[in-house]
Amino acid sequence: MRFAALFLTGTVAFVPPFVQAQQATNRWETVANVGITLTRGNSDNFLATAGIDTKRKWSTDEVLLGVNGGYGENTKHEPRTNDTTTKTDQYIKGYGQWNHFFSERNYAGVRVDALYDEIADIDYRVTLGPLVGHYFIKNPKTFLSAEAGPSVVFENTGAADSTIYFAARVGEKFEHKFNERTKIWESADWVPQVDNINNWVLNVELGVSSALTKALALQLKALDTYDREPVPGRRENDFKLIAGLAYKF
C-alpha cells in the first residue's frame, strides 16, 4: 500500500504545471476492480487481485494513472504431517503517462512503469521514457493507437545487483464498445534492451467488460508477461486469467 501511494503521488507530481493549469474538458474517469478466488477442501487456495485506473483529459493533454496488485497462497493438508502453505502470487505494478496532442490523432508524452514481483524474484523494475504516438482509429466506439520511444530501465532482482540499461518501447492499444454495456480491449508493450536484443519483456492484456448497472460491471481479463531472460530458476512466461467486479466513479 505504501508503494501504491508513493507511486500515485509521484506520477501526479510529474504532470507538467501547464497541464494542471488548463481547464479540464471532463472530470477524472476512474475504475476500481477486484477479484477473489477461494477454495476449501483437501487443499485451500486463495487468490485476490485489486486495481485502480484513472484518466483525465484537458484541451490538448491527457493523464493516465493506474496501480494493481495481487496475492495468492495454497495450503495443502497432509493427514500425517503438518499443513504446507506455499505463496503462489505477490506482485504490485503501476504506471503513469502524460500525452500532449499536436493534432486530433498525433501526440507525444512521457510514460513510467514500475513493477515488484516476489514470485518472479523482481525487487523492482522501473521503466521511464518519452514517446510519440498516433491514433489509427479514433471515434466514440472504437480506438486503435500505437506509440514508441526510447526508455531507461532501473532493475534489481534477487539474482543480481541493481542495473541500469537503455531500451526501446513499442506499445499499442485497442478498445471497442459494442454498446453502452459491453466492451472489449487489448494492449501490448514490448521493451527490448538496446545493446542486448535477447533481453526483452512483452506484456499483453486482453479483456471484456459487461455492465450490470451504470457503475458496476463484470470483468474478465487475461494477462500475459513473457520475460526473454528471466531470473535464473524462474520461467519465461507468466499467465493470469482474472474474473471480478469493476466499479466506475
Cα 241 → chain centroid: 14
CATH 2.40.160.40 fits 2-248, yes or no: yes
Total-model pTM: 0.85
Cα separation of the two ends of the chain: 21
C-alpha cell at 194: 538496446
Q: Over the stretch 217-246, which tens digit does the pLDDT of each residue have?
A: 999 999 999 999 998 889 999 999 999 999
Residue 4 pLDDT level (bands cut at 50, 70, 90): very low
pLDDT above 80 for 64: yes
Half-sphere exposure of 206 (CA within 13 A, CB side): 5
Kind and range of the H or E element at 219?
strand 216-227
pLDDT at 1: 47
pLDDT tens-place string over residues 143-173: 999 999 999 999 999 877 799 999 999 999 9
Q: Could you identify the residue written with the cell 498516433?
A: 134
Give CA–CA dist 30/240, Å, rounded.
Answer: 23
Q: Do residues 201 and 224 lie in contact, with contact meaning Cβ atoms separated by under 8 Å?
A: no
CA dist 209 and 182 (Å) reads 6
The proportion of the chain whose per-residue pLDDT surpasses 90, expressed as a percent, equals 72
Q: How far is CA 80 from the centre of its chain?
A: 43
